[in-house]
Amino acid sequence: MSVTTNQFKTGMTIRHKGKIWTLVDFQHVKPGKGGAFVRTKLKETVSGKVVEETFRAGESFDDVRMETKRMQYLYTDGLQFHFMDTDTYEQVALEADVVGDQSRWMKENDVTQLKYADDELTGVEAPMFVELEVTDTDPGIKGDTKQSGSKPATVETGAVVQVPLFIDVGDVVKVDTRDGSYITRV
C-alpha cells in the first residue's frame, strides 16, 4: 500500500531510500512562489538516526506495517542472542548487530519486544525501566546525600550508569533504558 505526503501522520512508518523510517514531525509548506512541499523529520527504525528531508507535495511512499512481539531473552552465546516466544515456545537467534545497544539493558529471562516491519525483523527493544544490580563502583562515604553529585557504576549487564554517591556494590538500581539514567534505588 502506498501513501502520499498529504496522508502523513506523526508516528507513521514509510519506506524511503531502501530503509524504514518513522515520521517524527512534518510540516506542509505552501510558499507564495513555486510548488508546495513537505518538510519532515524522519527517524530510521534500525539505527535510530534522525534526519530532515523535504519532499514535493503529493509524492508517494510505501506504507510499512509495524508490529511488536513479546519475547523472553534467554541467553547469549557470544555470537547470537537467543529469544523465546512464551506462548508457542518457538526460539529465535539474533545477530548482535540486530540487538545493538539494547543488550546493555537485557538480563536473562527478561521480557523484551522484537520489532517487525512488514514481517522483517528490524530490532529489539528492552523494557523502558529495568532493575539491575551494581557490580562495581567506588565505595560510598557516610553522609553522602542524593544532592551531592554522582559517580559511575557498572551494573550486572556491563552497562555503566551515573548513580548518586550513596550507592554501593550489591545495591539494585532502577534505570531508564531510553537514556541510561538512574531513577532510584530499589
Please report the domains of the chain, with CATH numbers, ordered by start residue: 2-63 (2.30.30.30), 67-125 (2.40.50.140), 129-185 (2.40.50.140)
d(CA 135, CA 150): 16
Give pLDDT, residue 41.
94
d(CA 114, CA 165): 35
pLDDT band at residue 146 using 50, 70 and 90 as cut-offs: low
pLDDT band at residue 96 using 50, 70 and 90 as cut-offs: confident
Is residue 142 over pLDDT 70?
A: no
Nearest CA among 19, 13, 25, 20 for reference residue 53: 25
Residue 34 is classified by DSSP as: S
The CA-atom distances, in angstroms, between 140 and each of 72, 77, 113, 128, 168 are: 35, 35, 36, 27, 6
Give pLDDT, residue 23.
92
Percent share of the chain, pLDDT over 90: 44
Mean pLDDT across the stretch 62-76?
A: 90
Cα angle value 134/47/19 (rounded, 5°): 160
* HSE, side-chain direction, 13 A CA sphere, residue 70: 7
**Paired residues of 123 in beta bridges:** 115
Percent share of the chain, pLDDT over 70: 95
Give pLDDT, residue 33.
87
Mean pLDDT across the stretch 80-108?
A: 89
pLDDT in tens, 149-175: 889 999 999 999 999 888 889 999 999
pLDDT band at residue 143 using 50, 70 and 90 as cut-offs: low
Mean pLDDT across the stretch 93-98?
A: 86
Is residue 1 over pLDDT 80?
A: no
Kindly report the backbone phi and psi dihedral angles of residue 57, in degrees, each rounded to the nearest multiple of 5, phi listed first. Answer: -65, 135
Give pLDDT, residue 145.
57
Would the pTM of this model clear 0.75, i.e. be above it? no
